[in-house]
């Protein structure tokens, strides 16, 4: 096989990717060995190895200890709906969106106090080391982990109030807008930034991914008259979900 200007390992990876996509290499099929790739494409061991690494980083194949590298089952991406809608019931946004999509969503959470890191202090407009309530969530759909979230709220706002713990008390499980309203803090704006990066080891372990998988990260902050009152990082596996926004037209 003659290669052009594109690096050889990318050409090999592209050809193997095409075979995976068109079904020539169906899910659970063993990927050709490094020696087979070397012989078939007329490349070095290094090129064959790098091509396999590309496919693994893309989540198309996975290594099985003592067995080899196999084509992964390709999930059909599902939607995670996000919107500014708030119902009169006071349900959390996750609960609203799951209901709208007809899904069966549950979640687990754990809250604890800590000092604000430099990044979180900047996002909340407070001083580094100021006390915040950090709450970590694992969201599930039909029992399968689908999304992680870590939120931070300044205790200068919520401390010693009925909503200090987001998932406990009379408003436990309600959204930020409803909880803040209960302590006379009127949330009037929310900002989200969406990016992508390789998942951290602990994130992929919780989400059922493999090393190298990409996650989408939504950095969300709620504001009341320009003051940040809650900020969160929402982590979603990019190969299994698409984020769909439903925004009102004013």
- Confidence band of 68 (pLDDT split at 50, 70, 90): confident
- Confidence band of 75 (pLDDT split at 50, 70, 90): confident
Residue 195 has a pLDDT of: 95
Residue 59 has a pLDDT of: 79
**Mean pLDDT, rounded, for 23-34:** 92
Is the pLDDT reported for residue 83 higher than 80?
Answer: no
- Confidence band of 97 (pLDDT split at 50, 70, 90): low
Q: Could you tell me which CATH number the domain at 78-245 has?
A: 3.40.1410.10
Is the pLDDT reported for residue 2 higher than 80?
Answer: no
pLDDT tens-digit map of 119-146: 999 999 999 999 999 999 999 988 889 9
**Mean pLDDT, rounded, for 56-60:** 82
What is the token pair recorded at 179?
A: 């909880």
Burial of 10 (0-12, 13-18, 19+ CB in 10 A): middle
**Mean pLDDT, rounded, for 36-51:** 93
The total of other beta-carbon atoms located within 10 Å of residue 7's CB is 13
Domain 8-71 has CATH 3.40.50.2300: no
- Confidence band of 3 (pLDDT split at 50, 70, 90): very low
What is the token pair recorded at 65?
A: 């200890």
The total of other beta-carbon atoms located within 10 Å of residue 152's CB is 24
Residue 92 has a pLDDT of: 53
Torsion angle in degrees (nearest 10) through CA of 228, 233, 238, 243: -30
**Mean pLDDT, rounded, for 72-101:** 61
Q: Between residues 26 and 80, which one has the greater pLDDT?
A: 26
Query: With a threshold of 0.75, does the pTM exceed it?
Result: no
Is the pLDDT reported for residue 27 higher than 70?
Answer: yes
Domain positions in the chain are: 8-71, 78-245
How is the chain split among helix, strand and coil, in percent rounded to 5? 25, 35, 40
**Mean of the per-residue pLDDT values of the chain:** 87
Residue 5 has a pLDDT of: 67
CA distance 213 to 215: 7
């Amino acid at each position: 096989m003659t290669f052009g200007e594109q690096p050889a390992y990318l050409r090999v990876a592209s050809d193997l990717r095409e075979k995976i996509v068109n079904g020539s290499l169906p899910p659970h099929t063993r990927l050709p060995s490094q020696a087979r790739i070397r012989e078939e494409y007329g490349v070095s061991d290094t090129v064959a190895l790098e091509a396999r690494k590309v496919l693994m980083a893309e989540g198309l194949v996975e290594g099985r200890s003592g067995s080899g590298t196999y084509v992964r089952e390709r999930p059909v991406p599902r939607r995670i709906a996000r919107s500014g809608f708030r119902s009169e019931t006071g349900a959390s946004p996750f609960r609203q969106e799951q209901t709208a999509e007809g899904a069966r969503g549950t979640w687990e959470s754990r809250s604890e106090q800590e000092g604000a890191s430099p990044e979180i202090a900047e996002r909340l407009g407070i001083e580094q080391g100021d006390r915040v309530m950090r709450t970590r969530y694992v969201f599930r759909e039909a029992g399968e982990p689908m999304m992680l979230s870590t939120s931070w709220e300044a205790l200068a706002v919520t401390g010693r109030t009925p909503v200090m713990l987001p998932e406990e008390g009379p408003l436990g499980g309600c959204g930020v807008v409803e909880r803040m309203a209960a302590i006379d803090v009127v949330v009037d704006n929310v900002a989200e930034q969406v990016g992508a990066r390789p998942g951290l080891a602990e994130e992929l372990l919780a989400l059922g991914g493999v090393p190298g998988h990409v996650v989408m990260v939504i950095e969300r902050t709620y504001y009341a008259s320009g003051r940040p009152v809650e900020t969160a990082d929402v982590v979603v596996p990019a190969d299994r979900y698409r984020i769909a926004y439903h925004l009102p037209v004013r």
